[in-house]
Amino acid sequence: MDKFTTLQGIAAPLPIVNIDTDMIIPKQFLKTIKRTGLGVSLFYEMRYDTEGKLIEDFVLNTKPYDKSKILLAGDNFGCGSSREHAPWSLKDFGIRCVISTSFADIFYNNCFQNGILPIVVKAEELDRLMSAAGSQLEFNIDLPNQSIQVGNHSFNFEIEDHRKERLLQGLDDIGITLGYKEDIATYETDKKNQKPWLFGDL
Amino acid sequence: MSNQSPKTLFDKIWSDHLVRQRDDGTSLLYIDRHFVHEVTSPQAFEGLKISNRSVHRPDATIAVADHNVPTINRQNIEDPQSKIQVETLAQNTKDHSIQYFDLMDQRQGIVHIIGPEQGITQPGMTIVCGDSHTSTHGAFGALAFGIGTSEVEHVLATQTIVQNPAKNMRISVNGDLPFGVHSKDLILYIIGKIGTAGGTGHVIEYAGSSVQSLSMEARMTICNMSIEAGARAGLISPDQTTFDYIKGRPYAPKDSHWDQAVEYWSSLPSDSDAHYDHEIVINSSEIDPMVTWGTSPEDVIAVNGTVPSPDSAKSENKKKSIERSLDYMGLKPGTKMTDIKLDKIFIGSCTNGRIEDLRKVASIVKDKKIASHVQAMIVPGSGLVKKQAEEEGLDTILKNAGFEWREAGCSMCLGMNPDQLKPGERCASTSNRNFEGRQGRGGRTHLMGPELAAASAIKGNIADIRDFS
């Protein structure tokens, strides 16, 4: 997995609440069997009209936001479907950090699987960041120090230690778990005795 | 927590599946059953191949194609991408010796319908699937939740998942459900009350006499939409209704295993003095038949209500969100919900595509005709639901009323297959999401239960089942 340490760049403001994963990447793009190539379809219905032409005033279609690495959005970002195509499309577009007041659980998890940092901030901080983003100020995201710095304003954010470590080191979660293979085998032996009905062939 | 301290149903399942804590502090949770479908699995199998890893327990994994499949002309999937996805699943399951119900198998259907139907879903299990509506299986007292594709790969490779414990929330609904109010109304009411992020970080246990009195089908409708309340999972205590439903199904425990299983299942209900981080108590008499007016499942109102005004919003954000929804839905504040004219009716999905739902619809539309301006479609949740409905003669009643009778799949709930709304079309839908573009770009979705959808098909407008005769 790609590592995440620090990130600099302008941020795209998208002040809408409850942005669901259908909005992030609509159904027709879920037919792929690959993880890549979805960036062009990110926010498809907000970015393109019914004839497939760019909607010029949508934030990610305007310069310099069309090169944003950071996205700011309203409450409950990523709700709805579990599709990992949502973080895949964000990443393929170039977005490595999403800032909101809250995230839906599955989307939040999926971000970490893909080297994307989701940051939770308070509502008043988000308002302040939205206006900084609107002024095209440069954001500095520093994961080791858990800080966001914009202009001369700087503040810290919370993140669970294990998630931070995984991003910093770009760790393969499956590899880590396979290190506990013997524990899993022991668990299975115990349960075969206690709950034998769970171990018949499906 | 010591073994003696009182535990919730969630706590019990959690501790029984905890393999160990990893050094990074996260918990490694064992997964009993893993459902796999064509849309969220190809990249996971590809990942296994690249890393030269195998499937740890093919015997605990079951696969079906449902999201992307046509509901007519099954033999030929016209969309080349959909075809590749379905074929990829068939190949992957063959390569890894995973049980796969193919499109011609009568057992094929929506993954969350067939798990319970086959008796694969059982109390006390941990169940995952790369699909947010995995919460459905919580109706059996199983800890069931949706995961992303990377986690699908993790479960395939290790039969475990990395988690942190969720918080416990209990929502108790007490009393007999009023006339015209059913399980879909109950869950829509709850989502309206707590909001689409109300359950974030929690597992919701639904309790109380109203919930206990429900059939398994009705309980599944409730747990199914836990994700629309933001919860990680929904749970209902297993009881005799649960055991009776499971008994005799193809994958249910047999003989002495059955007795052993029932004994274990009976130990699962929450201890009476267990602690919940959050408790909500609802009196069922508060609840009306419910319908959504906006583009989030929390945008819900009693069917005899009116479209709300942005001015009623408690915050500027909410006001903007109502304005955006009303604009998308083409609705004006103050409009009576029952004055809203419909173009399409969709009955189906993992929320309401079970036999009981079809029976309800048939009983309402029997000897009637759908309004001449609406197109109505019924998509049974599985091939076996379809077969049973046909054996009971429901298909004849429904077809006579003017409904199209389709093959099983997810269909217009998400419109990955050709079943979609056109821009501006308005649909009464028994599915679970009314997001912008969910059922087709520009399509307008009103979520409701099958009773309301059936009555609405006849009226051609959103209808209040209580006024319908």
What pLDDT, on a 0 to 100 scale, did the predictor assign at position A201?
A: 63
What pLDDT, on a 0 to 100 scale, did the predictor assign at position B1?
A: 46
Query: Is residue A143 classed as helix, strand or coil in its secondary structure?
Result: coil
Residues in A closer than 8 angstroms to B232, CB to CB, are 105
Q: Which residue in A has a C-alpha nearest to residue B41's C-alpha?
A: A33
Mean pLDDT of each 10-residue bin along chain B, 469 residues long? 80 98 94 98 97 97 95 89 96 98 95 98 98 98 98 98 96 97 98 96 98 98 98 98 98 96 98 97 98 98 98 90 97 98 98 98 98 98 98 98 96 91 97 97 98 98 92
- Asked if B462 and B444 touch (Cβ cutoff 8 Å), the reply is no
Residue A52 at interface with chain B, using a CB cutoff of 8 Å: no
Minimal CA separation from A139 to chain B, in Å? 24
**Which of A174, A200, A202 lies closest to B158 in CB terms?**
A174
Q: Residue B445: beta bridge partners?
A: B427
- Complex confidence, ipTM: 0.96
Q: Which residue in A has a C-alpha nearest to residue B161's C-alpha?
A: A177
Residues in B closer than 8 angstroms to A165, CB to CB, are 24
- B contact test, residue of A45, A49, A81, A194 with most B CBs within 10 A: A81
The answer for A56, left when phi > 0, alpha when psi is -120 to 50, beta otherwise, is alpha
Residue A190 at interface with chain B, using a CB cutoff of 8 Å: no
**Which of B40, B56, B321 lies closest to A83 in CB terms?**
B40
- Interface contact B416-A187, CB threshold 8 A: no
- Interface contact A20-B230, CB threshold 8 A: no
What pLDDT, on a 0 to 100 scale, did the predictor assign at position B327?
A: 98
Residues in B closer than 8 angstroms to A160, CB to CB, are 164
Residues in B closer than 8 angstroms to A162, CB to CB, are 22, 24-26
Q: Which residue in A has a C-alpha nearest to residue B25's C-alpha?
A: A162
Residue B356 at interface with chain A, using a CB cutoff of 8 Å: no
Q: Which residue in A has a C-alpha nearest to residue B317's C-alpha?
A: A17
Mutual angle of helices A105-112 and A161-169, in 10-degree steps: 40
What pLDDT, on a 0 to 100 scale, did the predictor assign at position A63?
A: 96
Secondary structure string (H, E, C) spanning chain B: CCCCCCCCHHHHHHHHHEEEECCCCCEEEECCEEEECCCCCHHHHHHHHHCCCCCCCHHHEEEECCCCCCCCCCCCCCCHHHHHHHHHHHHHHHHCCCEEECCCCCCCECHHHHHHHCCCCCCCCEEEECCHHHHHHHHHCCEEEECCHHHHHHHHHHCEEEECCCEEEEEEEECCCCCCCCHHHHHHHHHHHHCCCCCCCEEEEEECHHHHCCCHHHHHHHHHHHHHHCCCEEECCCCHHHHHHHCCCCCCCCHHHHHHHHHHHHCCCCCCCCCCCEEEEEEHHHCCCEEECCCCCCCEEECCCECCCHHHCCCHHHHHHHHHHHHHHCCCCCCEHHHCECCEEEECHHHHCCHHHHHHHHHHHCCCCCCCCCEEEECCCEHHHHHHHHHCCHHHHHHHHCEEECCCCCHHHCCCCCCCCCCCCEEEECCCCCCCCCCCCCCEEEECCHHHHHHHHHHCECCCHHHCC
CA quadruple B224, B225, B228, B233: dihedral positive or negative? negative
What pLDDT, on a 0 to 100 scale, did the predictor assign at position B3?
A: 57
Minimal CA separation from B353 to chain A, in Å? 19
Dist CA B233 CA B231 (whole Å): 5
- Which residues between 127 and 156 in chain A have a beta carbon less than 8 angstroms from any beta carbon of chain B? none
Residue B148 at interface with chain A, using a CB cutoff of 8 Å: yes
Q: What is the largest CA-CA distance in chain B?
A: 65
Residue B164 at interface with chain A, using a CB cutoff of 8 Å: yes
Minimal CA separation from B449 to chain A, in Å? 19
Residues in B closer than 8 angstroms to A102, CB to CB, are 197, 200
- Which residues between 17 and 36 in chain A have a beta carbon less than 8 angstroms from any beta carbon of chain B? 17-18, 20, 22-23, 26-28, 30-35
Give pLDDT < 70 ranges for chain A.
Answer: 201-202
- Which residues between 275 and 314 in chain B have a beta carbon less than 8 angstroms from any beta carbon of chain A? 296
- Interface contact A162-B81, CB threshold 8 A: no
A-B CB pairs within 8 A amount to 193
E strand residue ranges, A1-112: 6-9, 11-14, 70-73, 97-100
Q: Which of B230, B209, B252, B177 is nearest to B449 (CA)?
A: B177
